[in-house]
Structure 1
Amino acid sequence: MSAEASVAAANFVTAARSFVGVPWRHLGRARTGLDCIGLVLLAAREAGVDLPDPAPYAREPQGTRLLEGILGHARRVAEAAPGDVLLFRLGLYGGHVGIASVHPAWGVPACLHAYAPRRQVVEQPMDDELRAALLGVFRLPALET
């Protein structure tokens, strides 16, 4: 990753962190409430990356169509680096996204995501449950220059 891409990725992670604590809300696209895709979209926008919004979509997706807009032009990579978009299984399908980070307090791989069970945006270490649900890691084109 070039120095320019590293800065862009760091800006994306910093922007995502600014949403920690924001309440979870299906189809949310504001600091008053976000869902997982809303977090990726708004953090990317704050970092200067414009992504298409796949809304509206069902709360429980029936396939991965809702993610095609965000990940359609992203490149799948083998290992996550800060700023990569993580795709997780939701039931049978890929239906949850987060942003790879390194936890600021613990220095371990983590995920920034709007997490419905916790009802807010969190930065959570990549525990066994998250690793088991991980379907893929994607690098946005703007973070590869």
Structure 2
Amino acid sequence: MTIDEAARAYLGTPWRHLGRSTTGLDCIGLVLLAARDNGHALPDPAPYAREPQGTALLEGILAHAVRVPTVEPGDVLLFRMGLYGGHVGIASTHPAWRAPACIHAYAPHRRVVEQPMEGELAAALIGAFRLTE
């Protein structure tokens, strides 16, 4: 199973700040669980604020992943919230659309969703990262 396939199993899970189970997930929780389900043991950075705290999220990602120039399914995506990276998702190819997409626990949708990489989502993308552990 790939990380994006593992993440897809959580579609529809309610959004909850600091959530780490099928009763509720935030964006970091989704990445942690999908990575775990794929054999990657990543440390949990909780607790953390709901708003970006400078470059902390980017630094946390870089401790376990490398930046990649081309996005592939399963890569961790970092998105800007204001000036800093404050949201993460998992790159995918949507099975019905066959187009680049992102699986993420997204507060405005109040659940885990898979949506096309277009519009505001694509504009907010800071970079893609591939897990090394």
TM-score (norm 1): 0.87
Structure 2 gaps of 5+ residues are none
Amino acid in structure 2 at the alignment position of 1:135: I
Name the structure where strand makes up a greater proportion of residues. Answer: 2
**Aligned partners of 2:61 and 2:129 also within 8 Å:** no
Alignment partner, residue 83 of structure 2: 92
Report the RMSD for the aligned CA atoms in angstroms.
Answer: 1.2
Alignment partner, residue 17 of structure 1: 8
- Quote the Cα distance in structure 1 between the aligned partners of 2:50 and 2:67: 25
Question: Given the alignment, which residue of 66, 73, 83 partners 1:75?
Answer: 66
Name the structure where helix makes up a greater proportion of residues. Answer: 1
TM-score (norm 2): 0.95
Moved more, 68-77 or 15-24: 68-77
Amino acid in structure 2 at the alignment position of 1:43: A
- Quote the Cα distance in structure 2 between the aligned partners of 1:102 and 1:66: 24
Alignment partner, residue 119 of structure 1: 110
- Quote the Cα distance in structure 2 between the aligned partners of 1:68 and 1:42: 19
CA distances 1:20-72 after superposition (whole Å, capped 9, x unpaired): 00000000000000000000000110111111111110000221214533432
Structure 1 gaps of 5+ residues are 1-9
Task: Report how many aligned residue pairs link the two structures.
Answer: 133
Secondary structure of the structure 1 residue equivalent to 2:2:
helix
Alignment partner, residue 140 of structure 1: 131
**Aligned partners of 2:102 and 2:117 also within 8 Å:** yes
Alignment partner, residue 33 of structure 1: 24
Identical-residue share of aligned pairs (%): 73
Amino acid in structure 2 at the alignment position of 1:130: L
**Aligned partners of 1:27 and 1:55 also within 8 Å:** yes
